[in-house]
Amino acid sequence: MWPMTLEGCVVRMADSISYVGRDIEDAIRLGLIRRNDLPADCREVLGDSNGTIVYRLVEDLVANSLDKPFLCFSQKVGESLKQLKNFNQERIYRNPKVKDQTGKVRIMFELLFNRYLNDLEKGNESSDIYREFLDGMSPDYKAKTPPAGIVRDFIAGMTDEYFLEQCRKNLIPQVRTRRFFEQNNRK
């Protein structure tokens, strides 16, 4: 389904622009691919780093959409973006090493979703969903968006690193040694 407004299109394009290069950087960092594995024509048109890819996509989108009632890339950049997305699909998202972790990540999403939903239902304002997300939202958003939608939006906006940090913080018990408690009781 395509967005019905220009604003919706901007959001969708921004999402597409932001994840394509970031996913490549993550895959390189994890050893799933090497920078030279990227299709040569994509490297030539868009670059081979997240920063360069984002810059060239935004630059092209603005240049080709300015003063028009729609958003578009040039044909060359649009084709390179499509090719790069296909590359990501084949080499990153469908990578057997990634697929092995899918079930675990799904469970983490469900647990974190339920944790934040519970925080909203109980009004736990010390939760990150309040401090990191809701405090910056409009009163209209807070009033009209159901709790499950708020949690969905919060999690959808997380980077991979922030998501993992939230899982560590909220889902993994903080085990302390007896020595830790003894030291803190003396204070």
Interatomic CA distance for residues 75 and 55, integer angstroms? 17
What's the mean pLDDT in 29-49? 95
Spatial CB neighbours of 99, under 8 Å, sequence gap ≥ 6 = none
- The mean pLDDT value of the chain amounts to 89
Interatomic CA distance for residues 59 and 78, integer angstroms? 12
Cα diameter, the chain: 69
- Map residue 153 onto helix, strand or coil: helix
Interatomic CA distance for residues 122 and 125, integer angstroms? 9
Residue pLDDT, tens place only, 4-37: 677 878 888 888 898 899 999 989 998 999 999 9
Name the percent of the chain lying above pLDDT 90: 61
**How far, CA to CA in Å, does 132 sit from each of 11, 113, 129, 137, 151?**
20, 15, 6, 10, 12
Looking up tokens 């469908």 gives 94
Name the percent of the chain lying above pLDDT 70: 91
Closest CA to 155 of 143, 176, 171: 171
What's the mean pLDDT in 107-116? 96
Model pLDDT, residue 72: 92
Model pLDDT, residue 9: 81
First-to-last alpha carbon distance for the chain, in angstroms, is: 59
Residue pLDDT, tens place only, 144-167: 999 999 999 999 888 888 999 999
Neighbours of 11 (CB within 10 A): 12
- Map residue 80 onto helix, strand or coil: helix
Residue 127 has pLDDT above 90, yes or no: yes
Model pLDDT, residue 3: 60
Residue pLDDT, tens place only, 132-148: 999 988 999 899 999 99
103: its two tokens: 């079930």
Residue 45 has pLDDT above 90, yes or no: yes
Interatomic CA distance for residues 108 and 163, integer angstroms? 9
Of 33-37, 41-45, 104-108, minimum mean pLDDT range: 104-108
Spatial CB neighbours of 80, under 8 Å, sequence gap ≥ 6 = 41, 42, 45, 46
Model pLDDT, residue 146: 93
Neighbours of 97 (CB within 10 A): 11
**How far, CA to CA in Å, does 39 sit from each of 33, 47, 81, 97, 176?**
12, 10, 11, 21, 49
